Amino acid sequence: MRPSARLRCLLACLLMIAAAAAAAASKPQAPPPDRRIALTVDDLPWVQLPVVSTESILDGHRRLIAAIRRADVPVVGFVNEGKLDADGQPQPARLAMLRDWLDAGAELGNHTYGHSDLHAVGLAAYQDDILRGERQLRPLLQARGQAPRWFRHPYLRAGRSAADKAALARFLDQHGYRIAPVTVDNSDWIWAAAYLRADEPLPAGAKPSAKNDPQRLKARLRRDYVKYMGRKLDYYERQSVALLGYNLPQVWLIHANALNADSYGDLIAMARKRGYRFIGLDEAMRDPAYQRADAYTGPAGPSWLHRWAIGEKRPASFFAGEPSVPDWVLNLAQIDSE
């Protein structure tokens, strides 16, 4: 009995599907993107010091240290020594916070004494602040057979002229430092400000509700913050591929604050879910892209990917699409804009 026309059609379709599958299998598969990332944390031992008391932030500090231990990924923390002082005197409890970072396996770098803005204070004062920022850091590390070797510009402001950039690079090299760039830039500080305000008492006359309940609000902030950071990782991966032709080992910046103390593990898990593998800053900096000149001399502190793109005179359209902080978070933080 001859097969019906419908059956013949079905057999033909199956043969075509099988042939297409065989052809696809025979083609070389594109390798997965190289997703490596180095994590860095600024403003140690805690962002709000020295304005607040040590006692008021110790619980958050301990949560962050515990999260760092659990995550067990390489991390470099950048210290503002001015945060160790009160009334001009070093505070042993704050120095002990830095020892906690070292005990948790972190490396410590220099972020200047007073979180100085190079563009505001000028090169000479900035260099003095770098040296002042290692008076306790250097002996603290020396006691463990280490030395500070990474420097991070506060505000990522790296110089308004090529001459200042070159002079600072020579100065840092003479003192054993390498610049730690940032490629995954973000506004975690705005989210962190909103996170603190979520715990503030309600305004007079305001009625408690699900929308202003502190714990629900903080849970929403953590959830949306991690999503925002995921979009930042995706964006800078696309920027790297567009600029360099591949995804370079990224360098991620966050800060030592309560939001990251409570979100650290979720941030690590989110990045790993995207296929990222955490590496040390040393490994990231071996990529040849980091030998590119930083031609940016503008007033801001953008990602190094954007500095290189500006140096290549990429059009404004190249920079489009960067994720922004939602209005509701800006409003809660009482900050006008990023």
pLDDT confidence bin for 22, thresholds 50/70/90: low
In sequence order, the 6+-apart residues with CB closer than 8 A to the CB of 311 are 292, 293, 294, 295, 296
**pLDDT digits over 185-195, tens only?**
999 999 999 99
Which pTM value belongs to this model? 0.89
Calculate mean pLDDT across residues 293-318: 96
Tell me the HSE value of 122 on the side-chain side, using a 13 A CA sphere.
2
Q: What is the mean pLDDT of the chain?
A: 92
pLDDT the model gives residue 212: 76
The arithmetic mean of pLDDT across residues 211-240, rounded, is 95
Predicted confidence band of residue 1 (pLDDT cuts 50, 70, 90): very low
227-240 core/surface letters (b: 16 or more CB in 10 A; e: else): ebbbebbebbbebb
Average pLDDT over residues 202-214: 70
Upstream peptide bond of 50 is cis (omega within 30 degrees of 0): yes
- In this prediction, residue 27 has a pLDDT band, given cuts at 50, 70 and 90, of low
Number of H helices, E strands in the chain: 13, 9
Q: So what's the architecture of 36-333 in CATH?
A: Alpha-Beta Barrel (3.20)
What pLDDT digit, counting tens, does each position of 49-102 carry? 999 999 999 999 999 999 999 999 999 999 999 999 998 888 999 999 999 999
